[in-house]
Structure 1
Amino acid sequence: MASVLNPYLTFNDNCEEAFNFYKSVFGGEFAVVMRFDSTPDQYTPTEDEKNKIQHISLPIGNGSMLMGSDTPAKYGKVVEGTNFSISVSADDEADADRLYQGLSAGGKATMPMAKMFWGSYFGMLTDKFGIQWMISFDFNRNG
């Protein structure tokens, strides 16, 4: 199994500014830029959030990806120092389930694994040591 680990950063409304800064330092082009106004109806953002970043990714080096998003107000303010997660790209759905179950043991499942509108099988959890994880399998990666 060859899971890929990437840092995922969360921001209080300045994700785009931060990622433009990181891009100026590391170079390259954004692989993905999704704004909250492009989400399905069940994820309707507030008027102030529509142009904020739902997901952004910047390739860095050989195979690494720096990823991030703004945090919608309904989830509260991001606390600096805990505004990151480790994102794991699993090999398939079964691998994603195995990782999710293993890492959530003794911790807190915050979003169960489910197929998402952006083409991934995705879930989030906090492990028993307080580390936040995002587990995903991208359907488009192997197809």
Structure 2
Amino acid sequence: MSKFLATYISLPGTTRAAFEHWHEILGGELDLMTYRDNPMEGMPFEPDPDAVAHVTLRSPGVELAGGDQMPGDDNQYPVRDTAYSLLYTLDNAEEGRRVIDAFLAGGGESNMPFEEAPWGGWYGQVFDRFGVMWAISTP
């Protein structure tokens, strides 16, 4: 059995828009399910039928999953933070620049310019319009 680590992120009601935006930038396959699509009985809360129950974005080298935070969730952490980032390593600086530019054009904000890194290659950081920090790296 193949093992890998995938990223799961809960967003405050913006999961659909975020994953659709990421899909536009990263391409790949997007599978999204709302609570209306798959009603679950016996849940300890009454979810909004239009809330995202689960979504997966698969693109070469990428697997992101997520869902909307539930109202009243005691674990609502701020999305925008520098304590984490999604590190996306691409083949070359041109691809890295294209991804950074797409996030910026989509309402993102540069956190660190995309430029040659002291350790070699290129590196930069951008917050997308949903507050998620993307670190872009190339060899």
Greater gyration radius: 2
Q: TM-score, normalised by structure 1?
A: 0.48
Provide the TM-score with structure 2 as the length reference.
Answer: 0.49
